Structure 1
Amino acid sequence: MDIVPHEREEGELPAGRWSALRRTWRTRRRRFILAALSILLLPYLLIFVYLTGFIHPVSTLMLRDLVLLRGYDRQWVEFDDIAPVLVQSVMMSEDGQFCAHNGVDWGQMRGVVEDALDGEQTRGASTIPMQTVKNLYLWNGRSFIRKGMELPLAVVADLVWSKRRMMEIYLNVAEWGDGIYGIEAAARHHFGVSAAKLSRRQAALLAVALPNPIDRNAGKPGRGLRRLASVIERRASRSGGYITCLYD
């Protein structure tokens, strides 16, 4: 009896070719997973790298300006060379419980989640650690994905860095105008003085400009910005009990 060999249908690949394609797909999938994990873990590694005081981190916005060939103005300044009135004003404006929480103000965060579930407009609950890791590793804009990445980064950063180091990094990467980053560049650009020489009024104006530094010009404040600055100025003058983690 003659044995007729099985003929492949047109377009059918040999078994060996299918096996090679599967191996190639598995290899590419592993590489993609490893690349994705590396990207996700890199910020956590950098948190430990940034423990060292002589390393001066840059933000994602600063990197963007470099890529777009726009450049930026940032002059790193040590924490002890920043006027305490500026630190007080920023804390009272951005994160009054900075010394008390572990990177995330869970009480405020719970209120935001409840408002979102009820369909109400959410209020801001970003702490200084959350804003710092966002500036260093993430992107602007409201996104549950970004917030989900931001929370654990803020907790780890707050655990690894001292409060002084956290505040030092934040004040040196925060945006204070188009291409203006860090408190030294901001103080010189808006008021013509160093960060160490800021007055209480100037400090309050810079603090209230932080939520929207492009539209809020600390050097040329409108009536609304001046009114907010007056509130922060009063709070900062009574902030002694809130800043014990920064000044002994």
Structure 2
Amino acid sequence: MAEYHEGDVPKGPSLFRRLIIFIFKGGFYFVALSILLVGFFAIIPVPITATMLMDENGVTKSWRSLDEISPNLVRAVIAAEDSKFCSHNGFDTEAIEKAIENNRKGKKLRGGSTISQQTAKNVFLWQNGGYVRKGLEAWFTMLIEFIWPKSRIIEVYLNVAETGIGTYGAEAGAQRYFNKSADNLSKSEAARIAAALPAPKKRAVNGASGFTRRYGNSISSRISIVKRDGLDSCIYK
């Protein structure tokens, strides 16, 4: 039987072992919490996002279910943002490869984000942030694609996307620019909102000119193509 001498200190787990345990516990809690949040928001409207909380211009928003949003706007954002929305698993590999190539050549930085990726970022994360945020974005994108139907993804996207300065969601944007509900947007009105989505603080919806106006006209003409070619088949049966 070993003798205990005064001054002896029982040895606990090593620092490395404690670090490994901490990392595993942290990872477990993060995964569990993220799955819980994604499952929760599969049913409950998203009340607030980090982007909204950090917006110095305040927040104007009004949640609307998908059947209260004009199909014109749904098709407009598919035409403008992600024509493969109904067929990909959250990531458009071809678009990502093109973005990497453009960025490698030193051209103006362009992203390859899908609607699913943008939804994951807007709901669970923050704007900017580099590779760490991109990694988290990929994780949440996989989760929402696995847990939510496509119709829920685009419903959430159209309710949390910034549609103007201090303005969030389809309903708030429709009221701000056209004094009407989101379910009554025409093709041209929906296209103008979609054209401004990538840079809502810089691109005008009303009185747009130059590139934004041409882009809006292009989106408007493609809305019928989205319907004709069934690019919205995961939303409208």
Normalising by the residue count of structure 1, what TM-score does the alignment of the two structures yield? 0.80
- 1:112 aligned partner: 99
Give the letter aligned to residue 104 of structure 1.
Answer: F
Secondary structure, in 3 states, of the residue corresponding to 2:189? helix
Is residue 161–residue 168 contact of structure 2 (8 Å, CA) maintained in 1? yes
Give the letter aligned to residue 63 of structure 1.
Answer: L
- 2:54 aligned partner: 64
Give the letter aligned to residue 51 of structure 1.
Answer: A
Offset from partner CA, 1:195-219 (integer Å, 9 cap, x none): 0111111100100101000001212
Which 10-residue stretch deviates more, 196-205 or 26-35?
26-35
Match for residue 156 of structure 2 among 144, 147, 169: 169
CA displacement at 1:24 relative to structure 2: 9.9
Match for residue 91 of structure 1 among 63, 69, 78: 78
- 1:46 aligned partner: 37
Equivalent runs, 1:97-246 vs 2, <5 Å? 97-116=84-103, 123-141=110-128, 143-240=130-227, 241=229, 242-246=231-235
Give the letter aligned to residue 246 of structure 1.
Answer: I
Give the letter aligned to residue 47 of structure 1.
Answer: V
Which 10-residue stretch deviates more, 218-227 or 199-208?
218-227
Q: Residues of 2 paired with 1:97 and 1:128: CA distance?
A: 9
CA displacement at 1:32 relative to structure 2: 7.5
Q: Residues of 1 paired with 2:54 and 2:32: CA distance?
A: 21
Q: Residues of 1 paired with 2:175 and 2:207: CA distance?
A: 14
Equivalent runs, 1:22-37 vs 2, <5 Å? 34-35=25-26
Normalising by the residue count of structure 2, what TM-score does the alignment of the two structures yield? 0.84
Q: Is 1:55–2:45 an aligned residue pair?
A: yes
Q: 1:148 to 1:116 in 2, by over 3 A?
A: farther
Q: Is 1:247–2:232 an aligned residue pair?
A: no
Q: Residues of 2 paired with 1:105 and 1:181: CA distance?
A: 25
Q: Residues of 2 paired with 1:116 and 1:133: CA distance?
A: 23
Is residue 46–residue 123 contact of structure 2 (8 Å, CA) maintained in 1? no
Q: 1:122 to 1:15 in 2, by over 3 A?
A: farther
Provide the alpha-carbon RMSD of the alignment. 2.8
Please list every run of 5 or more consecutive structure 1 residues that lacks an aligned counterpart in the other structure: 1-13
Q: Residues of 2 paired with 1:194 and 1:245: CA distance?
A: 24
Give the letter aligned to residue 153 of structure 2.
Answer: M
What is the percentage of aligned positions where both structures have the same residue? Answer: 34
Offset from partner CA, 1:188-239 (integer Å, 9 cap, x none): 0111111011111110010010100000121231232111101111111211
Q: Residues of 2 paired with 1:64 and 1:118: CA distance?
A: 33
CA displacement at 1:36 relative to structure 2: 6.5
